[in-house]
Amino acid sequence: MSGTSADGVDAALVEIGESDLSLLGYVEIPFPKDVRREILSLCENGLVDTICRMDAALGEWFAEAALRVCEKANVSAGEVDVIGSHGQTIHHLPTLAVVADKKVRSTLQIGSPAVIAERTGITTVSDFRSRDMAVSGQGAPLVPLVDYLLFRSEYVGRAMLNIGGIANVNILPANCGVSDIFAFDTGPGNMVIDGVVQAITRGKQSFDRDGVLADKGQVCEDLLDVLVAHPFFDMEPPKSTGREDFGADMVQKILDWEGKREDLVRTAVQFTVESIVHGLKRFVLSRCEIHEVIVSGGGTKNPVMMDLLDRALGNIAFKRLDDLGMASEAKEAIAFAILACQTLNGHPGNVPSVTGANKQVVLGSITPGKRDARLPNPELLGTSSH
């Protein structure tokens, strides 16, 4: 799994049983600075030949991550049934467009599954988002089904908030069925903050470690007013977004503002917090009761952001995913392992009420490894209440 922050590869080794799962190992492999810079350049305005080469190169990195997490967990690659590879999103266009006489939604994730399967010998499932788009969905978010399997509760309404490059929320009302859950991207997560930090430090820092810069700054209120006026925030769910809305242009808008560098970072953090809280208040709390917000993703490492969110949520319990026994950073890698399991068992992986698809479909493309995959039925996961 490589997210919109494009800072490296996350790999989780997961053992999936008929009624539970175990995280056997987790590794993070950072991209070299020049590779990350090239990926981000592709996301903004990539050349076809560069994208083609990077597709193969990322396949090599993903394969390395898979083999390294196996080594860390003392599990041989031959014991692994399947790899679920999300890939690196280069472009995501969920809005319906017309090409000649064809109406299409489109998305592109790179990281060659053929390279992954060849280097590891393990059957690889990839390209998860395209099938949902083929049935009129947004192609995102896809993690809600996994949240439903693992974290639904008979008595507790939960908002599963993931703060990666983009922030998204999955709502699990108490005693919900699959058709009751809903989810959407709230807007920027770490993407804008990281872009500002990288610019003002001239590449010396790729993110605000421990929120040190933000903690020294003050919010530029006039700038914040401009940022939160983006039309995405008032769009009705289901909705998804990416660098197309909150990439280089948004970062430049902040950098063009007069202010101390710490103030710009602090304002970017407040921008993320305001957009998350706005999404929860406008589209969630008016619809169902939420008792807990459980947060995961790289944003959990920013104490300034976590403190602001905790205070903004008032009486709603605010927890990190780690509090429930799952490593926060590993969540999305775990999710795509489960979705790969769904695919090989012929079970749907999307939730139409979340993505806007007109039906449930089996997600992904399968690239065979050196032996057949034999998997348990994952539909029984998460049947107990928490």
Q: Does 287 have pLDDT greater than 50?
A: yes
Q: Give the mean pLDDT of 150-170.
A: 95
pTM for the predicted model, two decimal places: 0.79
Q: Does 192 have pLDDT greater than 90?
A: yes
Q: Which residues fall within 8 angstroms of residue 298, CB to CB, at 6 or more apart?
A: 3, 5, 7, 163, 164, 189, 190, 207, 329
Q: With contact defined as beta carbons under 8 Å apart, do 357 and 105 qualify?
A: no
Q: Give the mean pLDDT of 84-111.
A: 90
Q: Give the mean pLDDT of 96-116.
A: 91
Domains of the chain from N-terminus onward: 8-139+357-380 (3.30.420.40), 144-328 (3.30.420.40)
- Cα distances from 299 to residues 191, 208, 272, in angstroms, run 10, 10, 10
Q: With contact defined as beta carbons under 8 Å apart, do 80 and 70 qualify?
A: yes
Mean pLDDT of the chain: 91
Q: Does 376 have pLDDT greater than 80?
A: no
Using one digit for the tens of pLDDT, what is the confidence trace for 237-249? 988 888 889 999 9
Q: Give the mean pLDDT of 233-261.
A: 92
Among 93-97, 115-119, 266-270, 378-382, the range scoring the smallest mean pLDDT is: 378-382
Q: What percent of the chain has pLDDT over 70?
A: 94
pLDDT of residue 125: 98
- Kindly report the CA angle at 318 between 315 and 321, in degrees rounded to 5? 160
The single-letter code of the amino acid at 182 is F
Using one digit for the tens of pLDDT, what is the confidence trace for 313-338? 999 999 999 888 888 888 889 999 99
Using one digit for the tens of pLDDT, what is the confidence trace for 57-68? 999 999 999 999
> How many Å apart are CA 321 and CA 311, to the nearest integer?
18
Judged by phi (left if over 0) then psi (alpha if -120 to 50, else beta), residue 121 lies in left
The 3-class secondary structure across 103-144, one letter per residue, is EEEEEEEECCHHHHHHHHCCCEEECCHHHHHHCCCCCCCCCH
Q: With contact defined as beta carbons under 8 Å apart, do 84 and 14 qualify?
A: no
Which class for 11: exposed (0-12), middle (13-18), buried (19 or more C-beta within 10 A)? buried
pLDDT category of residue 105 using cuts at 50, 70 and 90: very high
pLDDT of residue 32: 84
181-203: string of b/e by CB count within 10 Å (b at 16+)?
A: bbbbbbbbbbbbbbbbbbbbeee
pLDDT category of residue 79 using cuts at 50, 70 and 90: very high
> How many Å apart are CA 193 and CA 190, to the nearest integer?
5
Using one digit for the tens of pLDDT, what is the confidence trace for 20-50? 788 899 998 888 888 888 777 776 666 878 8
pLDDT category of residue 377 using cuts at 50, 70 and 90: low
C-alpha dihedral sign at 289, 184, 2, 382: positive
Using one digit for the tens of pLDDT, what is the confidence trace for 118-158? 999 999 999 999 999 999 999 988 999 999 988 999 999 99
